[in-house]
Amino acid sequence: MTCLEHRRGRASRALVIIVAFGLSAVLAGCAAPVQRQTPELRREAGRIPRIVVMPLDVELSQLTAGGLEEPHAEWTDAALKHMRTALDDEAKVRKVTLVDFQSERGSPEDRETSLDLVKLHRAVGSAVMLHQYMGFTLPSKDGKFDWSLGPAVAAIARSHDADYALFLFVRDSYATAGRVAVIVVGALLGAGIPGGAQVGFASVVDLKTGDIVWFNRLLRPQGDLRTPDAAAETVKALVADSFQ
Amino acid sequence: MSLTRRQFGRQFGCAFCGLAAALLAGSLAAQAPASGRTFLVPGYRPAPASDEKGLWSLMDRVEQELKLSRFVVRDPTLNAYVRDIMCRLAKDHCPDVRTYIVRTAQFNASMAPNGMMEVWTGLLLRCGDEAQLAAILGHEMGHYLRSHTVERWRDARNKSDFGTFLGLGLAVAGLGAFGSLAQLALVASSYGFSRDQEREADEIGLELMSKAGYPPVAAAEVWEQLIDEYKAGTAERARQLLFATHPEPEERMGALREAAAKAGGDAGERGHERYLEKLAGVRAQLVGDELALRQYGRSELVFERLLVRWPDDGQLWFAKGEVYRLRGEDGDAARALASYARALETKNAPPETLRGTMLIELKSGARDRAQAAFEAYLKAKPDAADADALRMLLSQ
Amino acid sequence: MIRLCVCVVAALALAGCAPLVLVQPERQTVGGVISVQPGIKWNKLTMSGYRGNVEVWTLDGPGLNTLLFFTGVPDGEPLFTRATGAAQQEKPAVFRSAMNPVEVQELLEATMARNFQTTIAEARNLKPAPVANGQGFRFETRLVGRDEVERDGVFAGTIRNGKLYGAWFQGAKLHYFKRYLPEFDQMVASAQLVGDAAR
C-alpha cells in the first residue's frame, strides 16, 4: 500500500482525534453497539455475582467558541455522582452486588497489578472502540470479539473477592453559548460544525479469565450527563443487559 | 483510587480558619485590581461555585492521577529533601504545598493553583547546588502566591483564547486521543506567563530565597545556564520553545542579576555537598536518562558545567565519556577514552566506565586492551547483566 | 439526526486504501527483502505513523501489540521516527554499518526514549542468535509510554551488507506480549533475506 504511507503520523493521529471527538455522525454506528461473548453472568450455587466497579473514567468538558475542549470539574463530579447512584439502582433491580474498587486492598503485588490493569483497560477499551466501532477493523479477527485483560485479573478477584469487574469510560463535551452561536451561524452558511461529541463505553470483565464478556458503546444522543436523569439514562443504556 | 473526586486536597487543621481564610481571600480579591496583586493567604480555598474552584478541582484530579504515575520518583531521601527545601521557602504556606518529582529528562518545574508542585528530574540533574534548586522552587512559589496561573487561565477564557493556554500543553505533552485533557492544563500552567508575571515571580523568589538563607545570585545562575544550554543545541525549535514561553530571556537574566545583587548577592548557604549526597540514589538514573536523548551538544555542556562544580566526580566523567562514545564522530573515541581514564582516577567511577572503555578499544581493534577492560568490568560488577553480551562481542 | 454510517474506512476505501490489511498465514515478503511465514493471521498497518525502513503489523491493534520489521536500515538513518507532536530537538540517533549488536541495542533504547517520549525505555539480555540463515542477535525491551502501559518486547536481527534487517515485537506486558511470543519466535525461525538483501 503506497497511497497513505507518506502521510505523516500526526495526520493519522489527528484523524483519530477528530473521529473520537469531533464527528458525532461517525459514532452513529458502523457496528452493533453491544458485543458479548457470554450472555449471562455466572450464578453458581446461588451466589450473587459480585461486580467490582472500577474507578469511573469520566471527563466532561466544555467546548468553547474556539472549538477547544476545556475540562470542567464540576460537571464531571456531578456526572460521576449521578452515574454511581444509577449503577446502584440498576444493581438492585438486576440482583448483583456492586463493590467499589479500592486501591488499598490486597497484597502489594495485587495492588500494583490492579493499578496496571486499570491502565491496560484504557488501552484495550480504546482498541475496541477504534477497531470494532470506528471502522479501523482488524481483518484478522474475522468478526470475533476476543478482547481480554488476561489472567492477571486474578489480582482483582482476590483482593475484592469478586467475579466480574465493570469499567465505564465517558468523554463528553458540551457547547458553550458561544459555540452554539458558531454552530447556528455555520448551519445558516451551510457548513456542518461539530457540536461536541460523546464517546463512551462500558465493559464487563470476567475475573476468572480476564475476557471482556460484555462491551457496550454509548450512542448519541443520550442527553446531558450533567443532569441526574440523563446520567441515569446513560448508565441504564450502558449496562442495559449486562447484569443478567 | 477513591471515587469521590470532590476532594479539597487535605485536612483542615481548623475548619473555621479555612473558611475565614477563604472569605478573607475573597474580599481581598474583590479589592484587588485585575493585575492580581493579592498575596495568597495560607490555607486559602477558592469560593465554592467560583470558576477558580473549577480549576482547583481539576488540578486535584490531575494530582490523584499523578500519584499513581509510573513516572513519579519515589526515592524517600530525595523526596524528603525537596519537600524540606520547599517548606523552608514556603514558611506558613508549607502545609498547602505538595511536591512530586517526575522522571522526565527536561528542565521544568511547575506549580498548580491547588498547591501541587512538580519538579522534573532533568532539572535536578542540572542544578549545581541546593541554592539553585531553591531558586527555582522559590520562583514557582512566586507564581503560586500571586495566583498567576489562575490569572492567565481567566484571561485565556475571556479572550476565547483557551487554545493558546492549551496549545503549548499539547505541544509538550503529546497525549493520545483517549488521554486526559486535565493533564494538559497542568503542563500548560508552567508556560506562557507574561513578562510582568515572570518578573514578579522572580522578585518573590529572590525574597523567599534570601529569607531562607540562600544566596539570591543562584537564581541568575540558573537562568544563565539554561540559556547557554539552549544555545548549545542546534535545533531551531528548541530555542523557539524557550523563547516563546519565556519572553526575552537575556534581558530577564540581566534584570535578575541586578535584583539578586540588591537582595543579598552571594551571601548564603549553597548546600553544595548536601545536594550531591541527597541525589546519590537517583543520579545514575538521571545521567542515563539524559544520555538516552542523544542530544550530544547539550549533554556535553551540562556535564562539563557540573564538572566545574564537582571536578572529582567519577560519575560525571563517565557521563562525559558516554556522550563521546555515543556520538562517535571524528576524534570522539580518543575523547571518550580520556574521560573514562579521568573517571577511573576518582573514587566513585561507576563500573560501566570499564564497559565503555572496552567498547571503544574493541572498535579501534585493540583486542587485548578490550579484553583487559572487560575483565576489570566483571571484577567491579560481578553480577553485570550484560556480561554475556560483551563476551559475545569479544569472541567475534 | 442523520444516522448514516459515515465510516472513516468507507471514505478511505473510496480513496483506494484501507488502514488495516489482512496478512494471511502463508509466506510473505516484507519490504521486498524479508521473507517470513506467519502461523496465524496478522494485520498490516498502512498508516502506522512510523516512518523509515519499517513495516508495521499488529494483532490486536497498535495500542496493544506491534510487530515492526526493519527492512534494511542503511548507514546514517534512524531506526524509525514517529510524529509525536512534541517539540523535537536535534536530529535523531542513527544506525551505522559498523555498529556491533551492543550498539544496536543501545540505539533502539534511545529510539524508544525519543519516539515514545519516555525515560522508561530499556533494552537488555543481548544474546547471539541464528537469524535468516546467518549469525544474528536478539535482545529484550521494556517500555512504558505516556499511556502508562508497560510493554515488553523482543528484537531479533542481523546486519548484512551494511544494513540492518530485523523484527521487533512489542506488546502490553499484561497478556498481549506473552500470548503471541511463540508466534514471533516461529516467524523469526522461518525468516530469510531475499531480493536486494540477499545479494
**Max avg pLDDT among A32-41, B10-19, C103-112:** C103-112
Q: Would residue C3 count as lying in a domain?
A: no
Interface of C with B in 91-150 (CB under 8 A): 92-93, 96, 98, 100-103, 105-106, 109-110, 113-114, 117-121, 124-128, 137, 139, 144, 146-148, 150
Mean pLDDT of A193-207: 75
Identify the helix (H) or strand (E) that includes residue B184: helix B181-188
Q: What percent of chain C lies above the pLDDT cut of 90? A: 79
If one counts the domains in chain C, the total is: 1
Taking an 8 Å cut-off on Cβ atoms, the answer to whether A71 and B163 are in contact is no
Taking an 8 Å cut-off on Cβ atoms, the answer to whether A68 and B166 are in contact is yes
Mean pLDDT of B34-49: 76
Mean pLDDT of B294-302: 92
pLDDT value, residue B60: 87
pLDDT value, residue A178: 52
Q: Would residue C7 count as lying in a domain?
A: no
User: Which chain A residues have a beta carbon less than 8 Å from that of B181?
Assistant: 59, 61, 69-71
Torsion of CA A105, A109, A115, A120, to 10 degrees: -140
Asked if C52 and A8 touch (Cβ cutoff 8 Å), the reply is no
Could you tell me which chain C residue has the CA closest to the CA of A2?
Answer: C46
Query: Strands, E, within A64-163: which ranges?
Result: 69-71, 97-100
Q: How many CA atoms lie within 13 A of C112 on its CB side?
A: 27
Which candidate from C90, C146, C150 shows the least CB-CB separation from B235? C90
Q: Is B35 on the interface with C (CB under 8 A)?
A: no
Taking an 8 Å cut-off on Cβ atoms, the answer to whether B3 and A21 are in contact is no
Could you tell me which chain A residue has the CA closest to the CA of C21?
Answer: A139
Q: What residues pair up with C35 in beta bridges, in sequence order?
A: C29, C192
pLDDT value, residue A196: 59
Cell triple for residue A86?
A: 444509577
- Tell me the pLDDT tens digit for each residue of A61-99: 777 666 556 667 777 778 888 888 888 888 888 888 999
pLDDT value, residue B83: 97
User: Which chain B residues have a beta carbon less than 8 Å from that of C114?
Assistant: 292-294
**Cα Rg, chain B, nearest whole Å:** 23
How far is residue B293 from each of residues A38, A238, C108, C153, measured CA to CA in Å? 48, 44, 12, 20
Tell which wins on pLDDT, B244 or A110.
A110
ipTM of the predicted assembly exceeds 0.85: yes
Min Cα separation B45/chain C (Å): 31
Which candidate from A8, A116, A137 shows the least CB-CB separation from C83? A8
pLDDT value, residue B266: 85
Q: Buried b vs exposed e over B237-264: b needs ≥16 C-beta within 10 Å?
A: ebbebbeebbbebeebbebbbebbeebb
**Separation between Cα atoms, residue C97 and residue B363, nearest integer Å:** 12
**Separation between Cα atoms, residue A173 and residue B268, nearest integer Å:** 52
- Asked whether the predicted pLDDT for residue A225 surpasses 80, the reply is no
Taking an 8 Å cut-off on Cβ atoms, the answer to whether B55 and A122 are in contact is no
Residues 6+ positions from B61 with CB-CB distance below 8 Å: A73, A76, B5, B182
Ramachandran region of residue B49, left (φ > 0), alpha (ψ -120 to 50) or beta? left
Interface of C with A in 52-71 (CB under 8 A): 58-61, 63-64
**Separation between Cα atoms, residue B38 and residue B45, nearest integer Å:** 14
Min Cα separation C12/chain B (Å): 20
- Tell me the pLDDT tens digit for each residue of B181-228: 455 555 555 556 888 888 899 999 999 999 999 999 999 999 888 888
**Separation between Cα atoms, residue A48 and residue B70, nearest integer Å:** 36
Q: Is B357 on the interface with C (CB under 8 A)?
A: no
Selection from B64, B65, B46 nearest residue B56 by Cα: B46
Q: Would residue C47 count as lying in a domain?
A: yes
- Tell me the pLDDT tens digit for each residue of B314-355: 999 999 999 999 999 999 999 999 999 999 999 999 999 999
Taking an 8 Å cut-off on Cβ atoms, the answer to whether A123 and C147 are in contact is yes
3-state SS class at A66: coil
- Asked whether the predicted pLDDT for residue B163 surpasses 80, the reply is no
**Separation between Cα atoms, residue C94 and residue C101, nearest integer Å:** 14
**Separation between Cα atoms, residue B100 and residue B97, nearest integer Å:** 10
- H-assigned helices in chain A: 9-17, 73-94, 108-128, 154-160, 177-188, 228-239
CB count, 10 Å around CB of B205? 28
pLDDT value, residue C10: 42
Asked if B337 and B360 touch (Cβ cutoff 8 Å), the reply is yes
- Asked whether the predicted pLDDT for residue B28 surpasses 60, the reply is no
Residues 6+ positions from A196 with CB-CB distance below 8 Å: A24, A63, A172, A173, A174, A175, A179
Q: Would residue C65 count as lying in a domain?
A: yes
Q: Would residue C56 count as lying in a domain?
A: yes
- Asked whether the predicted pLDDT for residue A14 surpasses 80, the reply is no
Low-confidence ranges of chain C (pLDDT < 70): 1-17, 84-89
How far is residue B95 from each of residues B49, B87, C113, measured CA to CA in Å? 24, 8, 36
Tell which wins on pLDDT, C44 or A17.
C44
Q: Would residue C12 count as lying in a domain?
A: no
**Separation between Cα atoms, residue B276 and residue B311, nearest integer Å:** 13
Q: Would residue C1 count as lying in a domain?
A: no
User: Which chain A residues have a beta carbon less than 8 Å from that of B161?
Assistant: 66
pLDDT value, residue B237: 52
pLDDT value, residue B396: 83
β-pair type (A69-71, C34-36): unpaired
Residue C93: which domain range?
17-198
Average pLDDT taken over every residue of chain B: 81
Q: Would residue C11 count as lying in a domain?
A: no
- Asked whether the predicted pLDDT for residue B114 surpasses 80, the reply is yes
**Separation between Cα atoms, residue A67 and residue A178, nearest integer Å:** 10
Taking an 8 Å cut-off on Cβ atoms, the answer to whether B237 and C148 are in contact is no
User: Which chain C residues have a beta carbon less than 8 Å from that of A119?
Assistant: 147-149
Q: Which residue has the cell 543520579?
A: B283
Q: Is C86 on the interface with B (CB under 8 A)?
A: yes
Q: Is A68 on the interface with B (CB under 8 A)?
A: yes
- Asked whether the predicted pLDDT for residue B6 surpasses 60, the reply is no
Chain mean position to CA B48: 33
- Asked whether the predicted pLDDT for residue B42 surpasses 80, the reply is yes
Confidence of residue B72 (pLDDT cuts 50, 70, 90): very high
Confidence of residue B38 (pLDDT cuts 50, 70, 90): confident
User: Which chain B residues have a beta carbon less than 8 Å from that of C124?
Assistant: 385-386
Q: What residues pair up with A169 in beta bridges, in sequence order?
A: A57, A201
- Asked whether the predicted pLDDT for residue B34 surpasses 80, the reply is no
pLDDT value, residue B106: 86
Cell triple for residue C73?
A: 536500515
Taking an 8 Å cut-off on Cβ atoms, the answer to whether C150 and B393 are in contact is no
- Asked whether the predicted pLDDT for residue B359 surpasses 80, the reply is yes
User: Which chain B residues have a beta carbon less than 8 Å from that of C98?
Assistant: 363
Q: Of A26-40, B29-43, B73-87, B143-157, which gets the smallest average pLDDT?
A: A26-40
pLDDT value, residue B173: 40
Torsion of CA B269, B272, B277, B283, to 10 degrees: 130
Could you tell me which chain C residue has the CA closest to the CA of A219?
Answer: C3
pLDDT value, residue B241: 54
Mean pLDDT of B41-56: 83
Q: Is B387 on the interface with C (CB under 8 A)?
A: no
β-pair type (A198-206, A164-175): antiparallel
Backbone phi, then psi, for C196, in 5-degree steps?
-60, -30
CATH no. for residue C148? 3.40.1000.10
pLDDT value, residue B171: 40
User: Which chain B residues have a beta carbon less than 8 Å from that of A68?
Assistant: 162-163, 166
**Separation between Cα atoms, residue B389 and residue B395, nearest integer Å:** 10
Interface of C with A in 148-177 (CB under 8 A): 148-150, 172-176
**Separation between Cα atoms, residue B276 and residue B237, nearest integer Å:** 32
Amino acid letter, B298: R
Residues in chain A: 244
Tell which wins on pLDDT, B187 or B300.
B300
How far is residue B390 from each of residues B376, B377, B395, C95, C167, measured CA to CA in Å? 13, 10, 9, 19, 22
Cell triple for residue C1?
A: 439526526
Backbone phi, then psi, for A213, in 5-degree steps?
-90, -10
Residue of C6, C20, C41, C47 for testing the chain A interface, max A β-carbons within 10 Å: C47
Mean pLDDT of A195-201: 68
Q: Is C142 on the interface with A (CB under 8 A)?
A: no
